[in-house]
Structure 1
Amino acid sequence: MIYDYSQYLSFDAHYGQGFVTKNRDLIDVFNTNCPFCGDKLKQYFYFQRYDSNIFSNECVNQWESIFYCEQDGWWQHKINEQQDRGPKAWYAVIHEGILAKYDETANSVPIEILSDYIKKNPENITHIHDKKMEELVASVFRSFYNCDAKVIGKSSDGGVDIILIYNDNPIMVQVKRRKSRVKTESVAYVRELLGATLLHQSKNCIFVTTADKFSKDAKKTASLAIDLGLVQSYELVDYSRFIDMLQTKPINIERVWENLKTLDRLKVGEHYGLAYV
């Protein structure tokens, strides 16, 4: 199962002078452990300031924190404000990640979420949807080769699933997501990609498989195609090689809580929920 916490719920809580009491029990609640896996939460951000008004003799103590779970990604952002002098009042706002779950075989899982999951659980790559495998390869190759990559896989693709554009040169890519790694990729599909590459008038191709290895004939065919000048390069990427490439890819999962940080951006005298009476 693949977890995603990019969406969130928001709660506010307040009581004291000038407020109707709401969710008072949430004011002093701080999660120290993930509610899903039970692991101890890691503090990502903490900010505190004490703001006072010399004319009204009122003070507001403000603090903000972000905690998240390294294991499954759940997070919580909280802002607390307490008016210490003058009219007593308390205010808090809480944002918490909402759990979205995807089956490993789902075609709907976001590619960055999938990349992060396979990076942590590489052995499960054989379970993912064929189309997501093509998207994953394209995403990894964009980063690894610093190039453009377009998924074109169709029933009539003739053996080409992805086209890379590297230094203005097209590279034909075929992707095979095998149900088991304990398999040797045969020469048949290696020959098929060679033919498709020539028909696309390209001189470079890459064959990607989740199998553990390529057959001797497959390797020989790729080398022979280069020796005969049919192509300039023919790269064979097996399971281990692809996972190594994936491990170098930066995972760009948006940390939505970055956009929620507030107190360190406020000017003196500005408050999130409380205002001097």
Structure 2
Amino acid sequence: MSIFEYNNFDSPLSVGDDNPHMKKCVFCQNKLEVFSINDYWDVDLKEIYNFHQLGKSWVHEEGMDEEMWELDLSTYSCEVYFHHCNKCGWWRIIKDVTVSAKVWQLWQFFYGTAGLSKKLDLHNIDVPINEISKYLLAKYEARFSLHPKLFEDVTGQVFKNLGYDAIVTGYSNDGGIDVILEKQGKQIGVQVKRYKNKIKVDQIRELTGALFLSGIPSGIFVTTSDFQSGANKVVQKSSNKGMPIELINATRFYDILKLTTESKLDKENIRNKLELALNSKLFSYNWENPMNSL
């Protein structure tokens, strides 16, 4: 399931997408997958003409001849593209309308529609973890509003995607170990803290104690924030005593989440999924682009 459903969309400007040439997801900055689709939308030549006239004041400033500005609305071409993020699942449709000027010039106008993220109950621990992962990719600032149990589950899923066997322990009475990882017969204990403040050195020492009591030889500390100065010294001392601990702060966890999350696109059935969008009017990007003179 994607958090960007195909029946939930609006103007690209409503999600901060103000550049039709941009080829990265506006949410997670992943490179967009781009392919052509059929054109189902009429061209509103009057709308194009009126918008074009609004910019007429800079014609003389650019040294452009009047005939290179004036549009020949009888001559135009269209191309339509579907853009998809294979990480968080965001999508958009862009229609590129190229109109000839009366002489020696082409003008581009852009229309489109873009997916809106659905609302998730971030305190509902029954929400599918895959949806939560994609939601965090799109809106990572929401991690502080996420139920701590959900963040533990997301962390467990991330490590599963990295090839570990992962068991998320009970939300309470976990002894300081939130996730137990195993790979090739070796165990790792993971502590997960959904904090805004930096993790204190004493909290890392507490993880060391929890690992010792659980008989787990190594650990990972994952936080939604960062670690106080001195954390690396504690980790080094623990490693020297035979109990290595890895620190993963908010920035690094996001990178790992992005690496391990995938949103597949069913290209064969995309026409059916986009049915509502294909029957709706596209929104103007309020953007025109003069192309090289002919």
Q: Sort the TM-score into its range (normalised by shorter chain).
A: 0.5 to 0.7
Secondary structure, aligned partner of 1:165: strand
Which digits, 9 at most, give the CA deviation of each residue in 1:136-181, with x for residues without a partner? 111112223x211111133211100000112210100000001x2x
Which digits, 9 at most, give the CA deviation of each residue in 1:225-269, with x for residues without a partner? 11122x1x2101111121121121132x4646756889xxxxxxx
Match of residue 153, structure 2, among 129, 135, 138: 135
- TM-score of the two chains, using structure 2 as the length reference: 0.53
Which digits, 9 at most, give the CA deviation of each residue in 1:22-76, with x for residues without a partner? xxxxxxxxxxxxx6322399986769xxxxxxxxxxxxxxxxxx96876975799
Distance 1:184 1:68, change over 3 A: closer
- TM-score of the two chains, using structure 1 as the length reference: 0.56
**Counterpart-to-counterpart distance in 2, 1:67 and 1:110:** 27
Instruction: Kindly report which structure 2 residues correspond to 1:24-39, keeping only aligned pairs within 5 A, or say none.
Output: 36-39=9-12
**Counterpart-to-counterpart distance in 2, 1:45 and 1:106:** 38
Question: Which has the greater radius of gyration?
Answer: 1
Distance 1:46 1:239, change over 3 A: closer
Instruction: Kindly report which structure 2 residues correspond to 1:34-183, keeping only aligned pairs within 5 A, or say none.
Output: 36-39=9-12, 73=90, 101-144=119-162, 146-178=163-195, 180=196, 183=197
**Counterpart-to-counterpart distance in 2, 1:72 and 1:148:** 26
Match of 2:217 in 1: 203
1:234 aligns with 2:251: no
**Counterpart-to-counterpart distance in 2, 1:110 and 1:255:** 19
Identity of aligned residues (%): 32
1:246 aligns with 2:257: yes
The number of aligned residues is 189
Q: Judge conservation of contact 2:192–2:221 (CA < 8 Å) in 1.
A: yes
Question: Which of the two has greater helix per residue?
Answer: 2
Match of residue 219, structure 1, among 222, 226, 232: 232
Which digits, 9 at most, give the CA deviation of each residue in 1:153-210, with x for residues without a partner? 33211100000112210100000001x2xx2211222122111111221211001111
Q: Judge conservation of contact 2:133–2:261 (CA < 8 Å) in 1.
A: no
Q: Judge conservation of contact 2:34–2:84 (CA < 8 Å) in 1.
A: no
Question: Which of the two has greater strand per residue?
Answer: 1
**Counterpart-to-counterpart distance in 1, 2:140 and 2:245:** 25
Secondary structure, aligned partner of 1:150: strand
Gaps of 5+ in 1: 9-34, 48-65, 77-96, 263-277
Gaps of 5+ in 2: 14-19, 21-32, 39-80, 94-114, 273-294
**Counterpart-to-counterpart distance in 2, 1:255 and 1:118:** 19
Which digits, 9 at most, give the CA deviation of each residue in 1:94-149, with x for residues without a partner? xxx9x8531344423322222122122222222211111001111112223x2111
Secondary structure, aligned partner of 1:194: helix
Q: Judge conservation of contact 1:185–1:215 (CA < 8 Å) in 2.
A: no
